[in-house]
């Protein structure tokens, strides 16, 4: 049986979005052999910072001055066949709680230096540190460029190239249940990538590219992230959040609308709520105030949006094509549409 150590490097612990990705990958990988997986949450462990005293290097033959949770981790690390680091990118690198784990690895290194490839000075290992590794990392920025390069380079240097990468930028959407119509197939493919990794021992460029491809167009993503994180959902009920998020996320860019803007008034009768939905060729957004002239108005009940059907299955959903429905009803010249029976 092979041992996999899953290092959860997110301070959000089980709420980590990266962990969703890492677990999807592992689900595929573990299908390909006899594996035992152990998860360690870096941020649950009491691990002191490396003080740089080098006692472990010069005096104690690899023993640190601290007697903390690191010793137990280090034994597990050394005996693992594969280590999967799962972490958010913080300021283009690894989060502090993960870096502490690497700094303390000094106890696996001797003071001897050697020259590699004619130029690289590196320390000789006392322990097998440079093992087979996968780095699963996520970030909130939209793309990999000018973002993931530092952490990638750092892992390549630490593991002397013996590392595969699974990066997912613009990841904020992964943990949102009602986006499953997009995130579900994505995570399924991440599981396939894990399976291929188990069979072939590497993650191909094609698979890395797939993982890194944003799930939503930039504008939709920005709209969601910016509003989600700041004022958009303030004072809104959970139900309403769900309705509005569904509305924004089931929108697909519609080139046929080029140069046009459709504004639809929406009254959710049972919630006593009025807002406006604006749809253009490449954007869809919601207003609560400062209303503009409307092309069409709808009266509806919130259950049209809250029906569990829409979640997870775009094709069967009433709501999946709501923005398309608005656009096509607009062409009928009807000004008021009652969808309370919908
Ligand atoms: C201190 C801090 C620094 C961050 N720096 C970056 C960054 O450099 N690039 C990026 O894309 N996201 C950055 N983010 C966003 C996180 O990487 C992102 O929210 C991540 O997907 C969260 O993953 P988790 O849920 O697994 O913790 C940063 C977040 C924090 C809190």
204 vs 128: CA distance, rounded Å: 25
28 close to ligand 1 (CB < 6 Angstrom): no
168 close to ligand 1 (CB < 6 Angstrom): no
Q: What is the pLDDT of residue 307?
A: 58
Q: Whose CA is nearest to atom 6 of ligand 1?
A: 90
What domains can you pick out in the chain, each with its CATH number? 2-220 (3.40.50.360), 234-338 (3.30.1050)
Nearest atom within ligand 1 for CA of residue 168: 21
Strand pairing partners for 313?
none
Q: What is the pLDDT of residue 236?
A: 55
Distance 86 CA to ligand 1 centre (A): 12
Helix axes 238-249, 218-229, angle to 10 degrees: 170
Distance 91 CA to ligand 1 centre (A): 7
81 vs 61: CA distance, rounded Å: 24
Q: What is the mean pLDDT of each run of 10 residues along the chain (342 residues)?
A: 97 93 98 98 98 93 95 96 98 98 92 70 76 96 95 94 94 67 88 98 98 85 60 55 71 87 90 86 83 91 64 46 80 82 69
Q: What is the pLDDT of residue 228?
A: 52
Q: What angle is formed at CA 148 by the lines to CA 147 and CA 153, rounded to 5 degrees?
A: 130
Q: What is the pLDDT of residue 123?
A: 67
Q: Give, for 263, the enclosing helix (H) or strand (E).
A: strand 261-268
Q: What is the pLDDT of residue 240?
A: 72
Distance 256 CA to ligand 1 centre (A): 36
Q: What is the pLDDT of residue 50?
A: 97
Q: What is the pLDDT of residue 316?
A: 45
For 226-260, the DSSP string reads HHHHTTTTTT--HHHHHHHHHHHHT----GGGTT-
- Exposure of 115 by Cβ count < 10 A (0-12 exposed, 13-18 middle, 19+ buried)? exposed
Q: What is the pLDDT of residue 100?
A: 98
150 vs 93: CA distance, rounded Å: 6
Other residues' Cβ atoms within 10 Å of the Cβ of residue 135: 26
12 close to ligand 1 (CB < 6 Angstrom): yes
Say if residues 21 and 168 touch (Cβ distance below 8 Å): yes
């Amino acid at each position: 049986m092979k041992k996999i150590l899953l290092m959860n490097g997110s301070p959000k612990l089980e709420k980590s979005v990266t962990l969703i990705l890492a677990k999807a990958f592992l689900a595929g990988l573990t299908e390909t052999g006899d594996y035992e997986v152990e998860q360690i949450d870096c941020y649950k462990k009491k691990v002191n910072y490396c003080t740089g005293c080098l006692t472990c290097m010069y005096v104690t033959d690899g023993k640190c001055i601290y007697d903390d949770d690191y010793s137990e981790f280090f034994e597990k690390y050394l005996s693992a066949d594969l280590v999967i680091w799962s972490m958010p990118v913080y300021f283009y690198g690894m989060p502090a709680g993960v870096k502490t784990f690497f700094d303390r690895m000094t106890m696996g290194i001797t003071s001897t230096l050697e020259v590699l490839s004619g130029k690289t000075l590196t320390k000789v290992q006392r322990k097998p540190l440079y093992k087979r590794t996968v780095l699963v990392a996520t970030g909130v920025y939209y793309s990999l460029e000018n973002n993931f390069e530092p952490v990638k380079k750092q892992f390549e240097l630490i593991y002397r190239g013996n590392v595969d990468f699974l990066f997912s930028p613009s990841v904020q959407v992964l943990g949102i249940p009602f986006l499953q119509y997009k995130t579900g197939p994505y995570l399924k493919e991440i599981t396939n990538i894990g399976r291929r990794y188990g069979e072939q021992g590497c993650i191909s460029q094609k698979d890395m590219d797939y993982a890194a491809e944003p799930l939503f167009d930039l504008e939709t993503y920005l709209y969601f992230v910016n509003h989600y994180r700041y004022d958009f959902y303030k004072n809104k009920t959970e139900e309403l959040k769900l309705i509005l998020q569904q509305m924004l996320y089931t929108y697909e860019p519609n080139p046929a609308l080029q140069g046009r803007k459709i504004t639809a008034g929406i009254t959710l009768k049972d919630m006593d709520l009025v807002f406006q939905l604006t749809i253009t060729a490449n954007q869809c957004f919601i207003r609560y105030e400062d209303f503009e002239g409307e092309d069409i108005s709808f009266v509806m009940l919130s259950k049209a949006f809250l029906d569990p059907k829409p979640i997870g299955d775009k094709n069967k959903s009433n709501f999946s094509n709501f923005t398309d429905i608005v656009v096509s009803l607009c062409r009928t010249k009807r000004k008021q549409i009652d969808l309370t029976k919908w």
